[in-house]
């Protein structure tokens, strides 16, 4: 992976660790996601939670939220609080670049979590912005001359000729 | 002369056989690996080296195939979207030596289906030479593969098997392009 991208992702991961260290007895997990909800970095508190697979649940969660709010007169997803039987999710939109989500274990921590979300959102906004910029600049984007069915046919024939299929 | 680039992504979970697949086809086809990528091959302004699995094959003076392998580990899921951006098709390789290994591919396959729903692809069930290999219909059922998507047996160490899978993917891409051309006329 490109080194500068890896460095930024590591910085984001360090931020998730910092957030957990702010209240290790209450925070179960912290996730930073991009605009579509793909997890960029996360940290789980292994004392309070088994490392669940929210990698793939997160994009669906975000897209469901976006669909839901699009039918309501409240604008984009800015802040969500959801209480389950085993924990509380607090999710904050980081302007137009991504989301920060904290899973905590008790109602008593809701206020503190909200403060932490606010506290780290500026820092994460900078990091996510850098990540988007670097990934767009540094990685090849193959959108140029249109490929035609004839081109594909040529590739197939080329392979068959080399491999005598 | 503008250069056309056909971008193919080799996806699949960790240990499915992606690197073996590329290595095997490289033994037959003139694929260059670990060469710097030129971001703007047309104007030649700058070049960018990337560090994931990569292969390049020149078909004509104006036609090049790029093969990108995506890292299978979930912690790199953010990269999957970046690497896959602009791809013409993808080969999704799974380890089909046991039902458990097939299940390990569910999340990554869903990710690709969710993020690239209209991109042509086929699934290659690797390690079909093992006695414990899972049957293709069971694989389709476990991964909830859409009816129209092909699941092909693969032995990634076997040249003929690997090439047949690659050609099958190219045929899928060609058919999709033909359909697109038909509907845009």
* A133 vs B79: CA distance, rounded Å: 14
**Highest mean pLDDT, choosing among A26-35, A43-52, A127-136, B30-39:** A26-35
Cβ atoms B144, B116 nearer than 8 A: no
Average pLDDT over residues B69-74: 76
pLDDT digits (tens, 9 = 90+) for A45-74: 877 776 556 667 787 788 888 888 888 888
At B100 the pLDDT is: 94
**CB B39 to CB A56 under 8 A?**
no
Q: CB distance from B29 to chain A under 8 Å?
A: yes
**CB B78 to CB A38 under 8 A?**
yes
- Exposure of B143 by Cβ count < 10 A (0-12 exposed, 13-18 middle, 19+ buried)? buried
Q: Residue B174: which of A60, A142, A153 has the nearest Cβ?
A: A153
**CB B51 to CB A2 under 8 A?**
yes
pLDDT surpasses 70 at A124: yes
| Residues of chain A with C-beta less than 8 angstroms from the C-beta of B166 | 159
**CB B170 to CB A154 under 8 A?**
no
Domains: count for chain A:
1
Domain coverage including residue B74:
4-184
* B18 vs B23: CA distance, rounded Å: 9
Domain containing B168 — which CATH number?
3.40.50.300
Domains: count for chain B:
1
Average pLDDT over residues A67-90: 88
* A130 vs A53: CA distance, rounded Å: 26
Q: Is B89 helix (H, G, I), strand (E, B) or coil?
A: strand
pLDDT band of A98, cuts 50, 70, 90: very high
Domain containing A21 — which CATH number?
3.30.450.30
Query: Which chain B residue is nearest to residue A150, measuring alpha carbons?
Result: B174
Q: Is A97 helix (H, G, I), strand (E, B) or coil?
A: coil
> So what's the ipTM on this one?
0.84
Query: Which chain A residue is nearest to residue B81, measuring alpha carbons?
Result: A38
Phi and psi at residue B63, to the nearest 5°: -140, 120
Domain coverage including residue A74:
3-163
Q: Which residue's entry shows tokens 């799974």?
A: B94
């Amino acid at each position: 992976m490109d080194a500068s991208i890896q460095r930024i992702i590591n910085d984001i991961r360090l931020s998730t660790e910092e957030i957990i260290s702010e209240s290790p007895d209450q925070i179960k997990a912290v996730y930073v996601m991009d605009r579509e909800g793909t997890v960029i970095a996360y940290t789980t508190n292994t004392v309070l939670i088994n490392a669940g697979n929210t990698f793939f649940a997160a994009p669906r969660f975000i897209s469901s939220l976006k669909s839901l709010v699009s039918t309501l007169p409240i604008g984009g997803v800015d802040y969500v609080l959801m209480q389950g039987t085993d924990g509380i999710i607090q999710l904050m939109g980081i302007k137009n670049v991504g989301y920060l989500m904290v899973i905590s274990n008790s109602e008593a921590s809701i206020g503190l979590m909200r403060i932490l979300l606010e506290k780290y959102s500026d820092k994460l906004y900078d990091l996510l912005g850098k990540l988007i910029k670097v990934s767009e600049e540094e990685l090849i984007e193959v959108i140029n001359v249109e490929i035609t069915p004839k081109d594909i046919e040529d590739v197939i024939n080329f392979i068959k000729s080399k491999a005598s299929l | 002369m503008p250069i056309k680039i056909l971008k193919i992504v080799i996806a699949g979970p960790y240990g499915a056989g992606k690197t073996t697949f590329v290595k095997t086809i490289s033994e037959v086809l003139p694929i260059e690996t670990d060469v710097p990528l030129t971001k703007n091959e047309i104007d030649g302004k700058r070049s960018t080296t990337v560090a994931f699995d990569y292969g390049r094959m020149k078909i004509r003076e104006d036609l090049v195939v790029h093969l990108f392998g995506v890292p299978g580990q979930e912690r790199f899921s953010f990269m999957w979207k970046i690497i896959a951006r602009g791809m013409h098709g993808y080969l999704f390789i799974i380890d089909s030596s046991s039902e458990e290994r097939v299940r390990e591919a569910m999340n990554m396959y869903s990710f690709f289906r969710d993020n690239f729903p209209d991109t042509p692809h086929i699934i290659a069930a690797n390690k079909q030479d093992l006695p414990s290999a899972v049957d293709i219909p069971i694989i389709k059922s476990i991964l909830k593969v859409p009816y129209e998507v092909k699941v092909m047996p693969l032995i990634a160490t076997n040249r003929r098997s690997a090439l047949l899978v690659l050609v099958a993917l190219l045929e899928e891409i060609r058919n999709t392009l033909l359909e697109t051309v038909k509907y845009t006329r």
